């Protein structure tokens, strides 16, 4: 039997990890200042990192939208959380929040999850059937709503305050600064070689 406190805390922890993933992605790939740096330091590598991160984020969001059970096993999902005994006093509020999330998720990420991430849909892979374009604003909203959902439960049921909006750079600035130094050093060496050839 699951400890109710543990599952509430774990739901919030999973939401916090999703927020961190999305913040890292946003800091790396929603800042046009970095485009030139990534181009010079290995564009293919950074395209792969971008794709892997977005797949992981879409998967995380989708797991929160799972049914309460799958193949007889309990899921740690928002639909499951609504059915927990300890969340009954919040049922009306949580149900409204989940309805908003479900609508937002179904717009596009749901198709990505079922046709490309969790399954290799034949038409999608072989025939090039297009997947919907997911706007950053859509992901912003989903991540924020999932975060708020988990924080509300932890706060209202156990009185524990959490904040997922803390601004932390997760080493992104440090990585980019080292890339800048490396690029500058490489450019300096190329200039030196060119001057020697002249």
pLDDT digits (tens, 9 = 90+) for 65-121: 999 999 899 999 999 999 999 999 999 999 999 999 999 999 899 888 877 776 666
> Rounded to 10 degrees, what is the CA torsion of 48, 10, 116, 44?
0
- What pLDDT does 105 receive? 93
- What pLDDT does 170 receive? 66
> Alpha-carbon distance 190 to 198, whole Å?
12
- What pLDDT does 93 receive? 96
Q: Are 59 and 22 in contact (CB under 8 A)?
A: no
Q: Are 134 and 112 in contact (CB under 8 A)?
A: yes
- What pLDDT does 111 receive? 85
- What pLDDT does 153 receive? 95
> Alpha-carbon distance 9 to 5, whole Å?
6
Q: Please identify every stretch of the chain with a pLDDT value under 50, giving residue numbers as ranges.
A: none
- What pLDDT does 198 receive? 61
- What pLDDT does 186 receive? 83
- What pLDDT does 168 receive? 67
């Amino acid at each position: 039997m699951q400890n109710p406190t543990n599952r509430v805390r774990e739901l919030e922890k999973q939401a916090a990890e999703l927020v961190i993933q999305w913040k890292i992605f946003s800091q790396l790939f929603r800042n046009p200042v970095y485009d030139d740096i990534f181009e010079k330091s290995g564009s293919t590598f950074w395209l792969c990192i971008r794709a892997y991160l977005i797949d992981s984020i879409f998967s995380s969001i989708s797991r929160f939208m799972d049914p309460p059970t799958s193949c007889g096993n309990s899921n740690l999902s928002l639909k499951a959380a609504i059915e927990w005994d300890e969340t009954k006093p919040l049922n009306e509020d949580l149900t409204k929040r989940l309805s908003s999330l479900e609508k937002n998720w179904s717009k596009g990420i749901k198709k990505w999850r079922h046709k490309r991430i969790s399954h290799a849909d034949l038409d999608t892979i072989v025939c090039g059937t297009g997947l919907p374009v997911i706007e950053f604003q859509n992901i912003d909203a989903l991540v924020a709503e999932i975060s708020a959902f988990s924080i509300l439960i932890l706060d209202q049921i156990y009185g524990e305050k959490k904040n997922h909006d803390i601004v932390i750079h997760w080493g992104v600035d440090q990585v980019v600064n080292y890339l800048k130094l490396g690029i500058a050093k490489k450019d300096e060496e190329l200039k030196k070689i060119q001057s020697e050839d002249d």
